[in-house]
Amino acid sequence: MTVRLARISTEPLSVPAHTAAVDDARMGAEITFVGRVRDHDPDAATGVVALEYSAHPDAEAALHALAVAAIGDTDAIVAVSHRIGRLEVGEAAVVVAVAAPHRQVAYEVSRELIESIKHSLPIWKRQIDADGSAVWKGLGG
């Protein structure tokens, strides 16, 4: 198992940096997932203009542990980052890149990791709506 990158960042996330981190001639499949701030939420009365993410001080270590768990006993390689701070519509909040010998493993590791991030990573988001209202969305995504 290899986690080449697991980072919590206040800076914009680079998809090319993540794909470069998992580049490996032994791997036949590469999956990239990008979670972006969208302009709507089914529960909001108006459009969404931004999300503000905050993280527990141990979030980066937790992110690394989630990546290790998602890899399990596979030969997959992972690079993952989650952004914190204020993000505008269209900005990347999370990037996951997975390389594996075969596509099924790459898909499975990527899905397991993004789901565990959503449900277990100690990051909270505050959604800012166009009408000026704001609501906390809780643990994870």
Whole-angstrom Cα distance, residue 90 to residue 50? 9
For 114, phi then psi, to 5°, come to -65, -35
Residues 91/37, Cβ–Cβ less than 8 Å: yes
pLDDT digits (tens, 9 = 90+) for 105-133: 999 999 999 999 999 999 999 999 999 89
Whole-angstrom Cα distance, residue 14 to residue 69? 23
For 91, phi then psi, to 5°, come to -75, 150
pLDDT digits (tens, 9 = 90+) for 11-32: 999 999 999 999 999 999 999 9
Whole-angstrom Cα distance, residue 110 to residue 58? 22
Q: Which domain holds residue 109?
A: 2-139
Average pLDDT over residues 81-107: 98
Whole-angstrom Cα distance, residue 27 to residue 46? 44
42: exposed, middle or buried (Cβ count in 10 Å: 0-12, 13-18, 19+): exposed
Number of folded domains that form the chain: 1
Q: For residue 135, give the CATH number of its domain.
A: 3.90.1170.40
